[in-house]
Amino acid sequence: MAKPYCCPNCKTNKTRFNLIEQHAKIVKLDSNTGEIISEHTKENIEPYHMLYMGPSLKIQCGVCGLLEDEEMFIKYATYRGKEST
């Protein structure tokens, strides 16, 4: 369900945002050159390789540029709504 956003930094923007989808790519790099040696999937990762556990969506304010998790913008919009009543 869609929820309203409000930027907690500039405190005025409620309409202009960049939605950034994050897709983790599991790779093994050469330690000297930085080149990709191999790519893996969740099903065939190597031992001691931790899977990405961050958010799949980040939000950037289209006015001031603040980049945060979606929850931060939703919570501030909720706070601003309660504050004005």
Higher pLDDT, 85 or 52: 52
d(CA 70, CA 54): 12
d(CA 58, CA 74): 12
What per-residue confidence (pLDDT) applies to 82? 76
Radius of gyration of the chain (CA): 18
pLDDT over 80 at 83, yes or no: no
User: Can you give the pTM of this predicted structure?
Assistant: 0.78
d(CA 66, CA 20): 12
CA atoms within 13 Å, Cβ hemisphere of 59: 21
pLDDT over 60 at 85, yes or no: no
* pLDDT single digits (tens) 22-62: 999 999 999 999 999 999 998 898 888 999 999 999 999 99
What are the CA-CA distances from residue 71 to residues 42, 51, 58, 67, 85 (Å)? 26, 22, 9, 12, 22
One-letter amino acid for residue 77 of the chain:
A
